[in-house]
Every structure is written in structure tokens, then in C-alpha cells.
Amino acid sequence: MDIPEDNNAGQCNCLEPIVDFDTQIIILGTMPGIASIEKEEYYANEDNVFWDIIYRVFNPPLPADRQILLSYREKLQVLKTNRIGLWDTLSACNRKGNQDHRISGEKINDFERFFSEHNQIHTIIFNGKKSLDYFRGKYPNLLKTINYRVWYSTSSSSPINAFYILYQWSELKTLLM
């Protein structure tokens, strides 16, 4: 369900990265949606299928009624167990609603510094084409100069793409393992 939007684009700022010294895979979205910013939790919009996909791909499936009860802490533990971190390509932007195509005034995070501080990361997964496009726009050669085993651009986990992305993520797991 899309959150109603007003006529003025709101200022959005990214959340802090979820990363530690064990993180080997980083998933980069574009910018958190309104629900995520308000709750200060990645992928907090209940219609976004990100957490469902993470559980299906990286964890044994849970009964549907149990998934609703998972705390944010439990969700982050699945990522940590699989050495996965989260962040966003944009540090700030203006956006009407939640959709990436309504972004303007974007500022990109400092990935040269980020990857020098987290040189154990060997895989980047872009959660959506816009995330990859913004990254390449600011750092056109960074993916070539850093020695990554694999990087992959998926369709965004927004509700619009829900039926199409589970296969992509399942294929991605075989590349990572």
C-alpha cells in the first residue's frame, strides 16, 4: 500500500548502515521509504517483500502467521548470521511518496570511504536498478577497481515487483554460496 503523498517533495535521509566486521555482503537500496524512516527500520513498509525474500532465500521458511510476529531484531539476526549488511546508495534526497522515480536533489553516500573501512565486504547487491544507477553515476569505476567476487542488480523488493523477484534472489544465493 502506497502512503498518500502531498504536493511537496519531502526531505529524506538514509538510515545508518547495518554492518559490522563480519559483514561480507552488502545490500544497497536506493532510499528508505516513509514507513522505514518513521520507524528507523529498513524495509518497514509491510507491503515490501524484502524480509519475506530474505527468510525464503537465507533461512528455513517460517509459517506465514509467524512472519508477522518477527521483531526487527530477529530480522537483523538473519542478516548477521548470513554476514549480510544493509545500507542505501543515497544519503539524502527529496521525494514525493515512496517511489524511486519521484526522487530529486539526490546526494550519494561516500562509498570510497565506506569500502575502505569495510574491506572485508566482497559482494554488493543492488536492491533495484535506481540504486545501481545512482551508484554508477557517482562512482563509475569503483566496481571495477575493488576486487569483488560478484555483484548483482536485482529488481527492487517494492510491492510492485513482488511476483518477479523471488526467483532472482534464489538464483543469487547459489552465486553467493
Active site residues per annotation? 48
At residue 94, what are phi and psi to the nearest 5 degrees?
-105, 140
Q: pLDDT at position 9, please? A: 62
Measured distance CA(22)–CA(34) in Å, rounded:
29
Gap between the terminal Cα atoms of the chain: 34
The kind and range of the H/E element at 26 are strand 25-29
Sheet holding 150-154, edge to edge: 84-88, 25-29, 123-127, 150-154
Q: Is the pLDDT of residue 168 over 90?
A: no
Mean pLDDT of 64-85: 82
Cell numbers representing residue 120 in the block: 572485508
- When comparing pLDDT for 33 and 171, which is higher? 33
**62: CB partners within 8 A, 6+ apart:** 55, 70
Cell numbers representing residue 154 in the block: 536485482
The 10s digit of each residue's pLDDT in 75-116 is 999 999 999 999 999 999 988 877 777 888 999 999 999 999
Residues 139-161 as b/e (b if ≥16 CB within 10 A, e otherwise) read: beeeeeebeeeebbbbbbbbeeb
Cell numbers representing residue 162 in the block: 513482488
- Average pLDDT across the chain, whole number: 82
Domains, the chain, ranges and CATH? 10-176 (3.40.470.10)
